[in-house]
Structure 1
């Protein structure tokens, strides 16, 4: 039965993307089918095989080592504020971002990341049928972050037509930055985080190919990566450390605001209607959760967590899932977990349009105009990933 529901869910997701397509007649079916098959293969390997267990285990152990190193710096500065045997979200989850960001800066300075990103992007362009720039941008987004990635294509921004700009922004919203992945692994099982990272990369291309189909000529597809002025090693290191700290503080501030607002709204709804706002969202989103493969008796709770991520951000929803207040089966937890690993939420519209506007005001206004369509597509990417995982686990 789960396979029938999952296949129906898959058809619904692709259908919802097709309804919003700007050019239904020119959707390229072959790359889409190829990438869906690749998603099933990669998802099965990562979740159900010894090779997958080895890969995920190695990645998770690597991040555990990095988080322990980060803890040394955090404890040196904030050790006296930590209550023994108690979990402090800002210190345990957010501050390690500073160290991971510094490590990314070092790899960027040594020219390791640019080479990896460029050549993975070139290979992906052969699979997805899109331009090299779009493929580069998707990989770079997963490493640099949804706002920082646009700096690396600054020279191209002013030259891009609306349809190509949409794809670049959709990739940035559908993926998550490497500096923040370790923080996700504190709240979710690492295998779900890694699986979502891989599937969202292809899912972003699939949904964008349907919503926003187009062809790119060789002349249009010159890959220009913006070169920053030459900096010393310690300039780069200091810059990335400060960037990481800014991200940690900004996310912390957003969490304080969102959690407090949700608590207030829940109280109002509970007092007036006898139901919390999150439970109400759960009823609204439960049909989609069911089509992703969540059993009917868990659909409302699961959908409540998913909807929380959409209206606030992924950290609020992950914290809710990890708090123990939501009781879900292993399979449902897998589906919900992969759905949460992306930047698809309302606040990301402002973050992405602001990042682009800071580099090119006119293009930033273009992004703001298609912001809701951008969120729609990125949310469908998360639904697609969750549906595929629901068929695999």
Structure 2
């Protein structure tokens, strides 16, 4: 029965994407089927095989080691405030972002990351039926971040048509940046974070290929990556340290605001109609949770977390999931966790549009115009990935 529900869930996702497609005749079904098969194979290998478990354990242990190194710096600065027996969210989850950002800066400075991004992107372009630029951007978004990635392709933004710009922005919203992956692993199981990273990469192209199909001509299939300004090692180090700290503080500020607003709205709804705003969202989103493979008895609670992620952000939803206030079965936790690992939320529309506008005002206005369509597609990517996991675990 669960397989019938899961297949129906996939049909629902593809149907919702097909309805809003801007040119159904141009949809390339062969790359979509290939990427969908790859999602099932890679998801199964990562979650259900000993080799996958070893790989995920290795990655998780690597991030644990990095977080332990970061903790030394945090302990030095904050002392007794950074108590591992009674961790403060800001210290244990957000401040390590500073250290991870520093490592990314070092790998960038030594030209290791640009090499990895370029050639993984080229290999990916052979599979997804899209251009080199789109493939590069998808990999770069998963490493550099949803706003920073546009700096690396700023030379191409001016002549870029809206349909290709949509795909770049869709990749940025459907993935998450490496600088905050460690923070996610503190709140949810690392194996789900790693699996979601892989599935997001293909899922973003699958949905974009349906919603926004187009043909890239060979003469337009160019990739010009902007070179970063020449810096000394320590100049670069200082810049990335400060950037990482800013990200941590910005996330902290957003959490204070969003958690406070959600609590206020919940209290207002409880006082007026006796049911919280999140419960209402849970009922509205529960059909999607059901088709993802979540048991009917847990659909409302699971759907409320998913809706919270879209309305607020993934950190708020992950905090609620990890706090134990919402009790879900192991399978439901897996499905919800996969859904939460992406930047698909309303605030990302402003972040991406602002990042593009800072580099090219005209293109930034274009992005703002298709912002809701962007969020719609990125949410479908999350539903698709979660449905696949519901079928294979």
Residue 116, structure 1, aligned to residue 116, structure 2: yes
> Counterparts of 1:343-362 in structure 2 under 5 Å?
343-362=343-362
The alignment yields a C-alpha RMSD, in angstroms, of 0.6
Q: Partners of 1:2 and 1:239 in 2: how far apart?
A: 50
- What is the deviation of 1:85? 1.7
Report what 2:324 is aligned to.
324
- 2:247 paired residue number: 247
In structure 1, how many angstroms separate the alpha carbons of the residues matched to 2:83 and 2:48? 39
Deviation at 1:374, TM superposition (A): 0.2
8 Å Cα contact 2:74-2:82 kept in structure 1: no
Q: After TM superposition, which residue ranges in structure 1, 4 or more long, deviate above 4 angstroms?
A: none
CA distance in 2, matches of 1:273, 1:362: 45
What does residue 226 of structure 1 align with? 226
CA positional deviation for 1:280: 0.8
Q: Which residue of 2 aligns with 1:238?
A: 238
1:297 counterpart residue number? 297
Distance 1:330 1:84, change over 3 A: closer
- Distance in 2 separating the partners of 1:263 and 1:80: 30
Aligned to 2:14: 14
Instruction: Measure the CA separation in 2 of the matches of 1:46 and 1:288.
Output: 24
How far apart are 1:302 and its partner, in Å? 0.3
Equivalent residue runs for 1:189-208 within 5 Å: 189-208=189-208
Kindly indicate whether the alpha-carbon contact (under 8 Å) linking 2:125 and 2:131 is maintained by their aligned counterparts in 1. Answer: yes
Deviation digits for residues 136-184 of structure 1 (CA, Å, limit 9, x no counterpart): 0000000000000000001001110000000000000000000000000
What's 1:155 paired with? Answer: 155
In 2: Cα distance, 1:83 partner to 1:387 partner: 38
Q: What are the superposed Cα offsets for residues 277-330 of structure 1, whole Å, 9 maximum, x if unpaired?
A: 111100000000001111101000000000000000000000000011100000
Q: Report the alpha carbon displacement of residue 80 of structure 1 after superposing the two structures with TM.
A: 2.8
Normalising by the residue count of structure 1, what TM-score does the alignment of the two structures yield? 0.99
Once the two structures are superposed, what CA deviation does each residue of 1:79-99 show, in whole Å capped at 9, x if it has no partner?
232356212111000000000
Structure-2 residue corresponding to 1:136: 136
For structure 2, list consecutive stretches of 5 or more residues without a partner in the other structure: none
| 1:143-182 superposed matches below 5 A | 143-182=143-182
Q: For residue 285 of structure 2, what is the aligned residue in structure 1?
A: 285
Q: Across the two proteins, how many residue pairs are aligned to each other? A: 393
**Of 85-94 and 55-64, the range deviating more from structure 2:** 85-94
Query: Alpha-carbon deviation of 1:221?
Result: 1.1
Q: Give the alignment of 1:30-69 within 5 angstroms.
A: 30-69=30-69
Indicate the residue corresponding to 1:79 in structure 2.
79
Q: CA–CA distance in 2 between the matches of 1:357 and 1:31?
A: 32
TM-score, reference length from structure 2: 0.99
What is the CA–CA distance in structure 1 between the aligned matches of 2:260 and 2:341, rounded to whole Å? 22
Q: What residue in structure 2 maps to residue 217 of structure 1?
A: 217
Q: In the TM superposition, what whole-angstrom CA distance separates every residue of 1:34-86 from its partner, at most 9, and x where no partner exists?
A: 00000000000000000100100000000000000000011111123235621
Alpha-carbon contact 2:196-2:385 (below 8 Å) kept: yes
**What SS is found at the alignment partner of 2:219?**
coil
- Counterpart of 2:335 in structure 1 is 335
Provide structure 1 residue ranges, at least 5 long, that are not aligned to the other structure.
none
Does the CA-based 8 Å contact 2:269-2:276 persist in structure 1?
yes
Secondary structure, in 3 states, of the residue corresponding to 1:308? helix
| Paired residues of 2:312 and 2:346 also in contact (CA < 8 A) | yes
- 3-state SS, counterpart of residue 304 of structure 1: helix
Distance 2:316 2:38 in 1: 31
Q: How far, CA to CA, are the matches of 1:284 and 1:265 in structure 2?
A: 17
Question: 8 Å contact 2:82–2:92 — kept in the other structure?
Answer: no
Alpha-carbon shift at residue 388 of structure 1 (Å): 0.2
Aligned to 2:271: 271
How many Å apart are 1:229 and its aligned residue? 1.9
* Secondary structure of 2:226's aligned partner: coil
Alpha-carbon separation, structure 2, partners of 1:228 and 1:248: 23
Q: How far apart are residue 231 of structure 1 and its match?
A: 0.8
Distance (whole Å) between structure 1 residues aligned to residue 237 and residue 175 of structure 2: 24
Deviation at residue 217 of structure 1 after TM alignment: 1.3
